[in-house]
Amino acid sequence: MYDYDLLVIGSANADLVIGVERRPGAGETVLGSDLAVHPGGKGANQAVAAARLGARTALLARVGDDGHGRLLLDSMRNAGVDTAGVLVGGAPTGVALITVDPSGDNSIVVSPGANGRLTPEDVRTASALLAASPVVSAQLEIPLETVEEIVRGLRPGTRFVLNPSPPRELPDEVLAACDPLIVNEHEARVVLGADAGATPSEWAEALLARGPRSVVVTLGEEGALVADASGVARVPSVKVDAVDTTGAGDAFTAALAWRLGTGESLTESAAYAARVGAVAVTREGAQASFPSAEEIASM
């Protein structure tokens, strides 16, 4: 028996959110809404999303010894996340500066802060935590060398889920461990470079050729594609009126990773995750928007 259903290793940020009519151009100033501060960061978001769905979830991350760090710890604990692996100190808590336009689309600039101090040594020290879950999920708001150490520290049989955001080229060692690699269009193009291709199916097939055991390409309102050695399948979207897309991708990734750990197929897990992501975009904020299992069951 495992102690957890999902271990998330990644970032924890304070999200500083301003609504705008449109994003400013170079050298331009625009007026926005009042500033709202929400707990966020891809790692913390995924952990909270999974815990809210009922998964036994732990997080390995680093926050500062400051007000933003306390905000994050309180939010995670209230959602049921085990925060014993959250390290405190070393730098201020990471901050994400987010603008959201009337359509719900967002633009984000991240100051990594303490996230940049989550080191390979921290991962090695937490080896018992890595062995306590059948699925480990990560992102790229922490140093790439730390993600590489996660892959090296996985126990046989542990499933590794990676959302390479913010995107960059990935080492073969990391790509080979992904099951799945979860990307949107922008992330797929960055990871693939000149070999990206023109269609989502081509992106998925090209990514599989790089070494991942499976790939998920998220397509927003058009749903998602899942691909593995058996072929490519389409997952339909759930039609909703989007208010704020912040954190929706994290909710999707968390739900998919958790359901894979329960034994569901990649396609089944992605379909469930699509429903979770759809609910998240109908509400403002990241962690505050994540639904419960009961809400998803009633859809």
Return d(Cα 99, Cα 279) in angstroms, integer. Answer: 20
Return d(Cα 108, Cα 199) in angstroms, integer. Answer: 26
Residue type, 153: G
Q: Residue 38: how many CB atoms within 10 A of its CB?
A: 23
Active site residue: 5, 82, 179, 250, which one? 250
Q: Is 32 annotated as a binding residue?
A: no
122 belongs to the catalytic site: no
Q: Is 141 annotated as a binding residue?
A: yes
Q: Is 137 annotated as a binding residue?
A: no
Q: Is 172 annotated as a binding residue?
A: no
Q: Is 244 annotated as a binding residue?
A: yes
Q: Is 78 annotated as a binding residue?
A: no
Please answer whether residues 59 and 85 qualify as being in contact, where contact means their C-beta atoms are separated by less than 8 angstroms.
yes
Q: Is 202 annotated as a binding residue?
A: no
Q: Is 41 annotated as a binding residue?
A: yes
Q: Is 219 annotated as a binding residue?
A: yes
Contacts of 221 (CB under 8 A, 6+ apart): 237, 239
Measured in degrees and rounded to the nearest 5, phi and psi for residue 95 equal -130, 135
Tell me what percent of the chain is helix, strand and coil, each rounded to the nearest 5.
Answer: 40, 25, 35
Q: Is 115 annotated as a binding residue?
A: no
Q: How many residues can be counted in the chain?
A: 299
Annotation: binding site for substrate? 13-15, 41-45, 141, 250
Annotation: binding site for K(+)? 244, 246, 280, 283, 285, 289
Q: Catalytic residues, which ones?
A: 250
Annotation: binding site? 13-15, 41-45, 141, 184, 218-223, 244, 246, 249-250, 280, 283, 285, 289
Annotation: binding site for ATP? 184, 218-223, 249-250
